[in-house]
C-alpha cells in the first residue's frame, strides 16, 4: 500500500486575473457599504415596519367588524 502524500495547499490566487477579480469584488462591496449608510437602512426598515403594522391593524379591525 502506497503512502498518501499531502502536499501544500494551492494558493487561492493561481494567476493575476484571479487576484484582480477578488480585488474587484472587495472594492464593490466596500464602496456599497460606504455609500449606503446604516441610518438609511434603519429608516427604510422603520417605514416597512410601520406599513406592516397599519395593514395588520386594518385586517384585524375588518375581521372584528365581519364577525359581529
Domain count, the chain: 1
pLDDT score for 17: 79
SS3 37: coil
Asked whether residue 32 is assigned to any structural domain, the reply reads no
Cβ(38)–Cβ(29) below 8 Å: no
Count of C-beta atoms within a 10 Å radius of residue 43: 11
pLDDT score for 21: 86
Q: What are the tens digits of pLDDT across the range 4-33?
A: 555 555 556 667 778 888 888 888 888 887
Query: Which structural domain, as residue segments, surrounds residue 67?
Result: 37-68
Asked whether residue 66 is assigned to any structural domain, the reply reads yes
Query: Which pTM value belongs to this model?
Result: 0.47
Q: Which element (helix H / strand E) includes 65?
A: helix 38-67
CB contact set of 34 (below 8 Å; sequence gap of 6+):
none
Asked whether residue 48 is assigned to any structural domain, the reply reads yes
Amino acid at each position: 500500500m502506497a503512502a498518501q502524500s499531502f502536499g501544500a495547499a494551492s494558493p487561492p490566487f493561481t494567476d493575476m486575473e484571479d487576484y484582480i477579480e477578488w480585488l474587484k469584488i472587495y472594492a464593490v462591496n466596500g464602496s456599497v457599504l460606504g455609500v449606503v449608510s446604516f441610518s438609511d437602512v434603519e429608516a427604510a426598515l422603520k417605514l416597512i415596519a410601520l406599513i406592516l403594522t397599519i395593514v395588520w391593524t386594518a385586517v384585524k379591525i375588518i375581521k372584528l367588524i365581519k364577525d359581529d
